[in-house]
Structure 1
Amino acid sequence: MSLIEVKVPDIGDFSGVDVIEVNVKPGDVIEKEQTLITLESDKASMEVPSDVAGTVKEIKIKAGDKVSQGTVIALVEASADAAAAAPVKA
């Protein structure tokens, strides 16, 4: 199995957005589109989903951290089904 870095996706014109909640912990088995963290910008909160299914191996952020697009949220060991379906990155 391979470890995949799950990153903060495009969140618009925001940078340095507060993490107000971390919804998973190491060892959790997650599904694609499951909420990993909740962010809060000036006027709204948004949930950030996983783009892969698998087992959370490591969380790279904590509540109170500030993140931007591309910040690594977690390392996830892709499930066999997800690894088979995922395109190989060159």
Structure 2
Amino acid sequence: MVRNLLLLSLSNSINLIIYHEIMPINSPNYNDHMESFHALLEKECITWNEIINFTHGYKIINNYIKFYNEERIHGILNYMSSNEFIIKAAD
């Protein structure tokens, strides 16, 4: 597994150091979070929309990812959105 350090700037006052991990091929036990995200992406976004072409699909998926991070609540994050949780954790 390859692990890289990244600096994520949410605003001028909030900077986070995060790890970016690259998982080995054919190892679903290592990337269960991403498997879960992709299952939700398919269930909540792709199956509900008729994608006309690549550009249309790109916009729909980008909108879903923005919704997922900024608005969708997550039980594991005390029923906050990802962005709310990160900002609260940085305080």
Which of 1 and 2 has higher RCO (CA within 8 Å, sep 6+)? 1
Which one has the bigger helix percentage? 2
TM-score by length of 1: 0.21
Return the index of the structure with the highest Cα Rg: 2
Which one has the bigger strand percentage? 1
TM-score by length of 2: 0.21
